[in-house]
Amino acid sequence: MKVTLFGATGRTGRPLIDEGRKRDMEVTVFARSSSTFHDPDVRVIRGSLTDETLLREAISGSDAVLSALGPTALRHPSDLPITTATEAILSAMKQENVRRLIAISTGTAVDPEDGFDSKIRIPALLIKLAMPSAYRDIIGLASSIRASGLDWTMVRVGFLKDGPAAQRLNIGVYGHTKHSMTVLREDVAKFMFDQIQSRDFIRQAPGISSL
Ligand SMILES: NC(=O)c1ccc[n+]([C@@H]2O[C@H](COP(=O)([O-])OP(=O)(O)OC[C@H]3O[C@@H](n4cnc5c(N)ncnc54)[C@H](OP(=O)(O)O)[C@@H]3O)[C@@H](O)[C@H]2O)c1
Protein backbone atom coordinates (compact mmCIF):
# COMPACT_ATOMS: atom_id res chain seq x y z
CA MET A 1 0.00 0.00 0.00
CA LYS A 2 1.00 3.60 -0.49
CA VAL A 3 0.46 6.45 1.91
CA THR A 4 1.11 10.18 1.70
CA LEU A 5 1.99 12.00 4.91
CA PHE A 6 1.52 15.72 5.59
CA GLY A 7 2.82 17.31 8.77
CA ALA A 8 5.30 14.46 9.14
CA THR A 9 8.16 16.95 9.35
CA GLY A 10 7.03 17.64 12.93
CA ARG A 11 7.33 15.59 16.10
CA THR A 12 4.60 13.08 15.20
CA GLY A 13 6.33 12.54 11.89
CA ARG A 14 8.90 10.02 13.09
CA PRO A 15 6.29 7.68 14.65
CA LEU A 16 4.14 8.00 11.52
CA ILE A 17 7.01 7.22 9.15
CA ASP A 18 8.20 4.32 11.32
CA GLU A 19 4.68 2.89 11.49
CA GLY A 20 4.32 3.05 7.72
CA ARG A 21 7.61 1.23 7.31
CA LYS A 22 6.67 -1.45 9.85
CA ARG A 23 3.57 -2.11 7.77
CA ASP A 24 5.62 -2.33 4.56
CA MET A 25 3.91 0.66 3.04
CA GLU A 26 5.44 3.01 0.51
CA VAL A 27 5.64 6.33 2.30
CA THR A 28 5.73 9.76 0.68
CA VAL A 29 6.38 12.75 2.92
CA PHE A 30 5.39 16.23 1.78
CA ALA A 31 7.76 18.79 3.31
CA ARG A 32 7.58 22.55 3.16
CA SER A 33 10.43 24.11 1.17
CA SER A 34 11.73 25.68 4.38
CA SER A 35 11.79 22.37 6.25
CA THR A 36 15.10 20.76 7.22
CA PHE A 37 13.43 17.35 7.12
CA HIS A 38 15.70 14.65 5.77
CA ASP A 39 15.14 10.92 5.52
CA PRO A 40 16.86 9.02 2.70
CA ASP A 41 14.53 6.05 3.18
CA VAL A 42 11.29 7.79 2.21
CA ARG A 43 10.18 9.62 -0.89
CA VAL A 44 10.13 13.32 -0.06
CA ILE A 45 8.30 15.94 -2.10
CA ARG A 46 9.32 19.41 -1.12
CA GLY A 47 7.47 22.62 -1.91
CA SER A 48 4.57 24.85 -1.05
CA LEU A 49 1.52 23.32 0.58
CA THR A 50 -0.60 25.15 -1.99
CA ASP A 51 1.24 23.96 -5.10
CA GLU A 52 -1.45 21.93 -6.85
CA THR A 53 0.94 20.13 -9.18
CA LEU A 54 3.23 19.01 -6.36
CA LEU A 55 0.35 18.03 -4.12
CA ARG A 56 -1.13 15.87 -6.89
CA GLU A 57 2.27 14.29 -7.51
CA ALA A 58 2.59 13.46 -3.80
CA ILE A 59 -0.93 12.04 -3.52
CA SER A 60 -1.25 10.26 -6.85
CA GLY A 61 -1.59 6.47 -6.45
CA SER A 62 -1.84 6.59 -2.65
CA ASP A 63 -4.33 4.48 -0.76
CA ALA A 64 -4.65 7.13 1.93
CA VAL A 65 -3.50 10.54 3.04
CA LEU A 66 -2.53 11.02 6.69
CA SER A 67 -2.11 14.52 8.09
CA ALA A 68 -0.48 15.78 11.27
CA LEU A 69 -0.59 19.37 10.04
CA GLY A 70 -1.56 21.77 12.75
CA PRO A 71 -0.64 25.00 14.49
CA THR A 72 2.45 24.76 16.64
CA ALA A 73 3.65 28.16 17.65
CA LEU A 74 2.04 30.52 20.10
CA ARG A 75 2.34 33.16 17.40
CA HIS A 76 0.56 31.33 14.61
CA PRO A 77 0.06 33.32 11.38
CA SER A 78 -3.37 34.90 11.07
CA ASP A 79 -3.93 33.93 7.43
CA LEU A 80 -5.07 30.37 8.23
CA PRO A 81 -2.16 28.49 6.62
CA ILE A 82 -3.30 25.08 7.87
CA THR A 83 -6.85 25.53 6.59
CA THR A 84 -5.56 26.79 3.25
CA ALA A 85 -3.13 23.87 2.94
CA THR A 86 -5.83 21.38 3.93
CA GLU A 87 -8.21 22.73 1.32
CA ALA A 88 -5.50 22.38 -1.33
CA ILE A 89 -4.79 18.81 -0.17
CA LEU A 90 -8.52 17.93 -0.25
CA SER A 91 -8.78 19.33 -3.77
CA ALA A 92 -5.72 17.34 -4.91
CA MET A 93 -7.17 14.18 -3.34
CA LYS A 94 -10.40 14.63 -5.30
CA GLN A 95 -8.50 15.21 -8.53
CA GLU A 96 -6.41 12.08 -7.91
CA ASN A 97 -9.44 10.08 -6.76
CA VAL A 98 -7.88 9.31 -3.38
CA ARG A 99 -10.73 9.24 -0.89
CA ARG A 100 -9.32 8.17 2.47
CA LEU A 101 -8.06 10.93 4.78
CA ILE A 102 -7.01 10.48 8.39
CA ALA A 103 -6.08 13.77 10.04
CA ILE A 104 -5.12 14.87 13.52
CA SER A 105 -7.45 17.36 15.15
CA THR A 106 -8.15 18.36 18.74
CA GLY A 107 -11.00 18.66 21.23
CA THR A 108 -10.96 22.39 20.46
CA ALA A 109 -12.79 21.50 17.23
CA VAL A 110 -16.06 20.40 18.80
CA ASP A 111 -17.97 17.51 17.22
CA PRO A 112 -21.80 17.56 17.10
CA GLU A 113 -21.76 14.26 19.03
CA ASP A 114 -19.66 15.68 21.89
CA GLY A 115 -21.01 16.04 25.39
CA PHE A 116 -19.43 18.32 27.97
CA ASP A 117 -15.99 17.46 29.33
CA SER A 118 -14.33 20.28 31.27
CA LYS A 119 -10.89 18.69 30.73
CA ILE A 120 -11.35 19.40 27.02
CA ARG A 121 -13.49 22.55 27.04
CA ILE A 122 -11.31 24.59 29.43
CA PRO A 123 -8.07 24.16 27.43
CA ALA A 124 -10.10 24.87 24.27
CA LEU A 125 -11.34 28.13 25.77
CA LEU A 126 -7.79 29.07 26.79
CA ILE A 127 -6.55 28.39 23.25
CA LYS A 128 -9.36 30.51 21.84
CA LEU A 129 -8.43 33.41 24.12
CA ALA A 130 -4.63 33.12 24.10
CA MET A 131 -4.02 31.85 20.57
CA PRO A 132 -6.86 33.23 18.41
CA SER A 133 -5.07 32.64 15.10
CA ALA A 134 -4.31 29.03 15.96
CA TYR A 135 -7.88 28.59 17.20
CA ARG A 136 -9.37 29.87 13.95
CA ASP A 137 -7.06 27.58 11.97
CA ILE A 138 -7.99 24.53 14.07
CA ILE A 139 -11.68 25.26 13.45
CA GLY A 140 -11.08 26.00 9.75
CA LEU A 141 -9.16 22.77 9.28
CA ALA A 142 -11.96 20.70 10.83
CA SER A 143 -14.70 22.52 8.90
CA SER A 144 -12.93 22.00 5.57
CA ILE A 145 -12.49 18.30 6.22
CA ARG A 146 -16.12 17.86 7.28
CA ALA A 147 -17.32 19.62 4.12
CA SER A 148 -15.06 17.60 1.81
CA GLY A 149 -17.35 14.64 1.13
CA LEU A 150 -14.27 12.40 1.31
CA ASP A 151 -13.90 9.35 3.58
CA TRP A 152 -12.33 11.25 6.43
CA THR A 153 -11.55 10.44 10.01
CA MET A 154 -10.36 13.14 12.38
CA VAL A 155 -8.33 11.75 15.25
CA ARG A 156 -8.71 14.24 18.08
CA VAL A 157 -5.94 14.42 20.65
CA GLY A 158 -5.19 16.28 23.88
CA PHE A 159 -1.56 16.83 24.81
CA LEU A 160 0.91 14.73 22.85
CA LYS A 161 3.77 12.92 24.58
CA ASP A 162 6.78 10.98 23.39
CA GLY A 163 7.54 7.43 24.46
CA PRO A 164 6.94 3.86 23.39
CA ALA A 165 3.42 2.97 22.34
CA ALA A 166 1.29 1.57 25.15
CA GLN A 167 -1.59 0.58 22.86
CA ARG A 168 -4.06 1.10 25.69
CA LEU A 169 -6.41 3.82 24.57
CA ASN A 170 -9.67 5.50 25.45
CA ILE A 171 -11.47 6.00 22.13
CA GLY A 172 -14.66 7.98 21.58
CA VAL A 173 -16.26 11.40 21.47
CA TYR A 174 -15.65 13.78 24.35
CA GLY A 175 -18.18 13.96 27.13
CA HIS A 176 -19.41 10.41 26.51
CA THR A 177 -16.10 8.56 26.78
CA LYS A 178 -13.78 8.83 29.77
CA HIS A 179 -10.59 10.52 28.58
CA SER A 180 -7.24 11.48 30.00
CA MET A 181 -5.48 14.67 28.89
CA THR A 182 -2.56 13.03 27.06
CA VAL A 183 -1.75 10.49 24.40
CA LEU A 184 1.54 9.09 23.12
CA ARG A 185 2.57 10.09 19.60
CA GLU A 186 3.40 6.44 18.80
CA ASP A 187 -0.12 5.42 19.81
CA VAL A 188 -1.56 8.18 17.62
CA ALA A 189 0.48 6.95 14.67
CA LYS A 190 -0.65 3.34 15.16
CA PHE A 191 -4.27 4.37 15.51
CA MET A 192 -4.07 6.48 12.35
CA PHE A 193 -2.56 3.64 10.32
CA ASP A 194 -5.17 1.22 11.74
CA GLN A 195 -7.86 3.48 10.26
CA ILE A 196 -6.61 3.16 6.69
CA GLN A 197 -8.46 -0.08 6.08
CA SER A 198 -11.07 0.28 8.80
CA ARG A 199 -14.55 1.70 8.21
CA ASP A 200 -15.22 2.11 11.97
CA PHE A 201 -14.73 5.88 12.11
CA ILE A 202 -15.57 7.07 8.60
CA ARG A 203 -16.77 10.69 8.83
CA GLN A 204 -16.30 10.61 12.58
CA ALA A 205 -13.98 12.45 14.94
CA PRO A 206 -13.18 10.23 17.92
CA GLY A 207 -10.97 11.50 20.69
CA ILE A 208 -8.15 9.20 21.67
CA SER A 209 -6.20 9.32 24.93
CA SER A 210 -3.94 7.12 27.00
CA LEU A 211 -5.71 4.88 29.55
N1 LIG B 1 1.80 18.99 20.68
C2 LIG B 1 0.65 18.82 21.32
O3 LIG B 1 0.57 18.57 22.54
C4 LIG B 1 -0.64 18.88 20.52
C5 LIG B 1 -1.87 19.01 21.19
C6 LIG B 1 -3.05 18.99 20.43
C7 LIG B 1 -2.98 18.87 19.05
N8 LIG B 1 -1.76 18.80 18.43
C9 LIG B 1 -1.75 18.65 16.99
O10 LIG B 1 -1.19 17.40 16.67
C11 LIG B 1 -0.47 17.47 15.44
C12 LIG B 1 0.92 16.93 15.61
O13 LIG B 1 1.54 17.58 16.71
P14 LIG B 1 3.13 17.68 16.80
O15 LIG B 1 3.45 17.97 18.21
O16 LIG B 1 3.76 16.54 16.07
O17 LIG B 1 3.29 19.00 15.94
P18 LIG B 1 4.60 19.70 15.36
O19 LIG B 1 5.84 18.99 15.76
O20 LIG B 1 4.47 21.13 15.76
O21 LIG B 1 4.38 19.56 13.78
C22 LIG B 1 3.36 20.29 13.16
C23 LIG B 1 3.39 20.08 11.67
O24 LIG B 1 2.54 21.09 11.10
C25 LIG B 1 3.33 21.91 10.21
N26 LIG B 1 3.00 23.32 10.41
C27 LIG B 1 3.00 24.03 11.57
N28 LIG B 1 2.73 25.32 11.32
C29 LIG B 1 2.56 25.42 9.98
C30 LIG B 1 2.26 26.50 9.10
N31 LIG B 1 2.09 27.75 9.57
N32 LIG B 1 2.17 26.26 7.79
C33 LIG B 1 2.34 25.00 7.30
N34 LIG B 1 2.63 23.93 8.08
C35 LIG B 1 2.75 24.15 9.39
C36 LIG B 1 4.78 21.68 10.58
O37 LIG B 1 5.56 21.91 9.42
P38 LIG B 1 7.12 22.32 9.50
O39 LIG B 1 7.85 21.12 10.01
O40 LIG B 1 7.45 22.67 8.10
O41 LIG B 1 7.18 23.49 10.45
C42 LIG B 1 4.77 20.22 11.04
O43 LIG B 1 4.88 19.37 9.94
C44 LIG B 1 -0.54 18.93 15.02
O45 LIG B 1 -1.64 19.04 14.14
C46 LIG B 1 -0.85 19.67 16.29
O47 LIG B 1 -1.56 20.89 16.03
C48 LIG B 1 -0.60 18.80 19.13
pTM of the model: 0.98
Q: Domain tally for the chain? A: 1
Confidence of residue 74 (pLDDT cuts 50, 70, 90): confident
Pocket test for ligand 1, best of 72, 79, 87, 187 (most atoms within 8 A of CB): 72
Atom number in ligand 1 closest to CA 34: 40
Determine the Cα–Cα distance for residues 86 and 142; give it in Å rounded to an integer.
9
Domain that holds residue 187: 2-210
Of 105, 103, 174, 155, the C-alpha closest to 134 is 105
**pLDDT, tens only, 119-161:** 999 999 999 999 999 999 999 999 999 999 999 999 999 999 9
Q: What is the pLDDT of residue 174?
A: 98
R_g of the chain computed on alpha carbons: 16
3-state secondary structure of 94: helix
Give the CATH number for residue 162: 3.40.50.720
Question: Which of 69, 161, 162, 209 has most ligand 1 atoms within 8 Å of CB, for mutation?
Answer: 69
